[in-house]
Chain A
Amino acid sequence: MAASTEPAEVPVLGPGQTYATVTDRITGVILTKETPRGWWIGFGIAFLVMMLMLFSLTVLFAKGIGIWGLDNTVAWGFAIINFVWWVGIGHAGTLISAILLLFRQEWRNSINRFAEAMTIFAVANAGLFPIIHTGRPWLAYWLFPYPSMFQLWPQFRSPLLWDVFAITTYVTISLLFWYVGLIPDFATLRDMADNKVVRRIYGIFALGWRGAARHWAQYSRASLLLAALATPLVVSVHSVVSFDFAVSSVPGWHTTFLPPYFVSGAIFSGFAMVLTLAIPIRKFFHMEDFITDRHLENMAKVMLATGLIVFYAYIMEVFFAWYSGNQYEEFMIYNRMTGPYAPFYWALIFFNGIVPQLLWFKKVRRTPWILFIISIGVNIGMWLERFIIVVTSLHREYLPSTWTYYAGTFWDWSLYIGTLGFFFSLIFLFLRVLPMINMFEMKELVHHLSHRGKEH
């Protein structure tokens, strides 16, 4: 009995919160003229780094993808690594907003909004990479089926085209889901704002929401349906990303377990990014009452579970290479572990496989700064994982005469780091102008918790 009630010892909401305090606390961050100095510093740095991205893109468009480290052997370099990394990060937002909604996990309420924001910003970065990787981004519309003058149609048997559909659907649904969740909160901002212009702007986005019971009923049903649709979608997106690899015949890619391996890796890295963002944000904006230690602990548990699946996949990769008896598969693993990229391989095993084992300890899960360091490590580890998957399979493929050594150039790195600046710029803007926590769901939570208090 004591064990089963234990999770309640740290509540999902700080004590003494009412409908009014929740509203005032969250809108207070937005509806103020005083922008914290820390916000300016953070946004300023992120914005400068974003300039690096724009500069790298300008050089890229002027000179072409020859400025990258790609060659005929390793034709998928940083662009695809970064694409998979960013898409993966996005998946935690959808998982939190859709899957945990279907499972009625109340603790998701305070983190789903910025996790969804993170999804959209991450997927925006992800979408950039395949487009510029084509070399002629101004012709990106060729990817879509339309009656063209060439009388050509896309090849629907190719996973690369499946990816186009999966990613565009994912962006569209994520954006709409996010916006639908924001409508009642826009209405709150409209009603709370003193400034006429501000009220007008939020009012436009609120579409005239007035909290009518009939509207809520229709709205809740639609949200539930969207969650039910987004759940298989998020699983399908990273499965399709893995098909880009698995459907080919390249050693190390051509395996059936790639889809579940990729999906759990995506959730693993996504939760790491949510923790990386949530821990400083809750400290900076003093949101400890809403994002409690319980939230951090639950996210750490999800990270531990998905991390174990990922670690299992690393072990199975080695096992399959041996069990297949295929010399190319065997060589691929041997080359990964001892070849020129071996330090990266062992670093990813360390960051994704070994370090997360610390999460078995409650003390670690309850200590934000340790969690923060672990989550940064996982972010790095998951980037290295994609690097290893893409590069070690390609650089020494079937024909030794094509073997090569791949490394990112300055422009590879500057673009990648620049997208981090873009991501954090958007996060900072989001924190300043939109409610970082879903207010109406928090009020629902206050309502439910007060009821539960009466029953016992």
Chain B
Amino acid sequence: MSESVYGLMARFGTPEEVVEATRRAREAGYKKMEAYSPFPIEELADILDFKPKIQYLVFIGGVLGALTGFALQYYASVIAYPLIIGGRPFNSWPAFIVVEFELTILFAGLTAVFGMLALNGFPHPYHPVFNGKDFNLVSRDKFFLVIESADPRFDRERTWAFLESLHPEEVTEVHP
């Protein structure tokens, strides 16, 4: 029976309640859980001990963009098509700064967007929580805490009782 359960879902009416509930669940030792909200709530990620890593990727993307920008212009102006313009050296790097800058921004920006999507696992059209009762309100005005059955401390009865003790609007089962 419990194999067919993805987890237990508690619905809350306010952001304060879901933050408090997530904190309590964390203190109770649950690890495999996730909170869902209609807008970003910084405390939730802190409580779940989650730190975004996208900035490292963006930095690498930016450096790659700068290197690509310079390499492209160096290759075109020095190796592939050397042309004397106004007596300037072939490698007239001050004139290359603008394109280098633009490609830095372009690569970093593309990394920020596609890196964020990749790290979040998007596109991800199907997920068990979408089966949860009234979960479509998560993008409107409701807040959810889901404790997964994969958590070692998960026990249908006790976890249910624990979630009920957090005063949610409702606790329901989520099927995969």
Q: Does A240 contact B (CB under 8 A)?
A: yes
User: Using a Cβ–Cβ cut-off of 8 Å, how many residues does chain B contribute to the interface with A?
Assistant: 65
- Please tell me if the beta carbons of A165 and B102 are within 8 angstroms of each other in the complex: yes
Q: Which chain B residues border A156 with CB–CB below 8 Å?
A: 73, 76-77, 95-96, 99
Interface SS majority for chain B: helix
Contacts of B55 in A (CB 8 A): 221, 225
Q: Which of A52-60, A227-235, A280-288, A365-373 contacts B (4 or more CB under 8 A)?
A: A227-235
The segment out of A67-75, A203-211, A343-351, A418-426 that lies at the interface is A203-211
Contact B76 A145 (CB under 8 A): yes
Contact A191 B140 (CB under 8 A): yes
Residues 126-139 of chain B: 1 if any A CB is under 8 Å from the residue's CB, otherwise 0? Answer: 11011000011111
Docked-complex contact B45 and A222, CB < 8 angstroms: no
A218–B120 alpha-carbon span in the complex (Å): 7
B115 part of interface (Cβ distance < 8 Å): yes
Residues of A within 8 A of B106 (CB): 168-169, 172-173
Indicate if the CB atoms of A184 and B126 lie closer than 8 Å: no
Shortest CB-to-CB span from A446 to chain B, Å, is 9
Interface residue ranges of B105-137 to A (CB < 8 Å): 105-106, 108-110, 112-113, 115-117, 119-120, 122-127, 129-130, 135-137
Decide if A211 touches B139 in the complex (CB within 8 Å): yes
When the two chains form their complex, are residues A213 and B48 in contact, meaning their CB atoms are under 8 A apart?
A: yes
Q: Do A225 and B36 touch across chains, with their CB atoms under 8 A apart?
A: no
A408 CB–B CB distance under 8 Å: no
A contacts with B, residue count (CB < 8 A)? 64
From the candidates A154, A176, A188, A214, name the one contacting B110 in the complex (CB within 8 A). Answer: A176
Contact yes or no, B140 A219, CB < 8 A? no
Partner of A229, one of B54, B103, B108, B120: B108
Alpha-carbon separation in the docked complex, A219 to B105 (Å):
18
User: A213 near B44 (CB under 8 angstroms)?
Assistant: yes
Q: Is the CB of B138 within 8 A of A191?
A: yes
Chain A: minimal CB distance from B150 (Å): 15
- On whether the beta carbons of A212 and B85 are closer than 8 Å, the reply is no
Smallest CB gap from A183: residue in B: B122
Q: Are A447 and B39 in contact (CB under 8 A)?
A: yes
By the criterion CB–CB under 8 Å, are B140 and A169 in contact?
no
Digit string of A170-187 for contact with B (CB within 8 Å is 1, else 0)? 001100110110001001
Contact indicator A152/B81 (Cβ below 8 Å): yes
Tell me whether A207 and B45 are in contact (CB under 8 A).
Answer: no
Docked-complex contact B99 and A161, CB < 8 angstroms: yes
Tell whether B28 is near chain A: CB-to-CB under 8 Å. no
Chain A nearest CB from B175 CB (Å) reads 16
Contact among A166, A218, A226 with B102 in the assembled complex (CB-CB below 8 Å): A166
B98 within 8 A of A: yes
Cβ of A154: which chain B residues have Cβ within 8 Å of it? 76
Residues of A within 8 A of B81 (CB): 151-153
Contact of A213 with B141 at beta-carbon distance under 8 Å, contacts A180-B116, A229-B105 already known: no
* B58 interface contact, C-beta 8 A: yes
Flag A135-178 by CB within 8 Å of B: 1 or 0 each.
Answer: 00000000001010001111111010110011011001100110
- Are B38 and A210 in contact, with the CB atoms below 8 A? no
Complex contacts, A212 vs chain B, CB 8 Å = 34-36
How many A-B pairs have beta carbons closer than 8 Å: the answer is: 200
* Neighbouring A residues of B102 by C-beta, 8 Å: 162, 165-166, 169, 233, 236
- For residue A397, give the distance in angstroms from its CB to the closest CB of chain B: 21
Partner of A180, one of B34, B80, B113: B113
CA distance A204 to B58 in the complex (A): 26
| C-alpha gap A169/B62 in the complex (Å) | 13
| Neighbouring A residues of B112 by C-beta, 8 Å | 222, 225-226, 229
Q: Which of A24, A168, A179, A226 has the most CB of B within 10 A?
A: A226
Tell me if B83 is interfacial: C-beta within 8 Å of chain A.
yes
Is there an interface contact between B37 and A216, defined as CB atoms closer than 8 Å?
yes
A2 within 8 A of B: no
Does A363 belong to the interface (CB within 8 Å)?
no
A289 at the interface (CB under 8 A from B): no
| CB–CB A18/B76 < 8 A | no
Q: Is A399 an interface residue (CB 8 A)?
A: no
Tell me if A441 counts as interface (CB < 8 A to partner B).
yes
Q: A23-B38, A216-B37 are in contact. List 17 more A-B contacts (CB 8 A).
A: A156-B96, A157-B88, A157-B95, A165-B99, A173-B105, A177-B113, A191-B140, A209-B139, A210-B36, A212-B36, A213-B22, A216-B45, A218-B116, A222-B112, A225-B55, A443-B38, A447-B41
**21 sample A-B contacts, Cβ–Cβ < 8 Å, listed by A number:** A18-B141, A23-B139, A152-B81, A155-B85, A156-B77, A166-B102, A192-B140, A203-B125, A207-B122, A208-B124, A210-B129, A211-B139, A213-B44, A213-B50, A214-B50, A215-B120, A216-B45, A219-B40, A219-B120, A233-B102, A236-B98
The 6 closest A-B pairs by CB, nearest first: A19-B141, A217-B45, A222-B116, A208-B124, A213-B44, A153-B76
Distance A173 CA – B62 CA, assembled complex (angstroms):
14
**Contact status of A211 and B116, CB under 8 A, knowing A187-B139, A188-B140, A232-B105:** no
B67 within 8 A of A: no
How far, in angstroms, from A447 to B38 measured CA to CA in the complex? 11
B152 contacts partner chain A, Cβ-Cβ < 8 Å: no
Closest to A147 in B: B80
Given A165-B102, A207-B123, A209-B122, A441-B39 contact (CB < 8 Å): yes
